[in-house]
């Protein structure tokens, strides 16, 4: 799943219940998403929506949504 800017310099890790930490040196953005209600699994649609809004809609970078089925 893509995340961060198109330079592929971003790094991060998913956490319990859908939380996610990310740092992208290319764009200078770092953030942590910590939902107040636990999701199921390591990938949470809410966290993807936050990433997509920040990187794709605000910064004009590539979409953050998963590709394929």
pLDDT per residue, tens digit, the chain (69 aa), is 677 888 889 998 888 888 889 899 988 989 898 888 887 766 778 888 888 888 888 888 888 877 765
Tokens of 22: 């990310």
Cross-strand bridge partners of residue 14: 20
- At 31 the pLDDT is 86
- At 11 the pLDDT is 92
- At 1 the pLDDT is 67
pTM score:
0.69
Give the dihedral of Cα atoms 5, 62, 6, 48; nearest 10 deg: 50
């Amino acid at each position: 799943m893509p995340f961060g800017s198109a330079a592929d310099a971003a790094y991060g890790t998913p956490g319990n219940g859908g939380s996610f930490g990310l740092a992208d040196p290319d764009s200078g953005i770092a953030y942590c998403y910590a939902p107040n209600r636990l999701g199921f699994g390591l990938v949470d649609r809410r966290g993807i929506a936050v990433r997509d809004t920040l990187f794709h809609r605000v910064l004009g970078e590539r979409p953050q949504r998963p590709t394929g089925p």
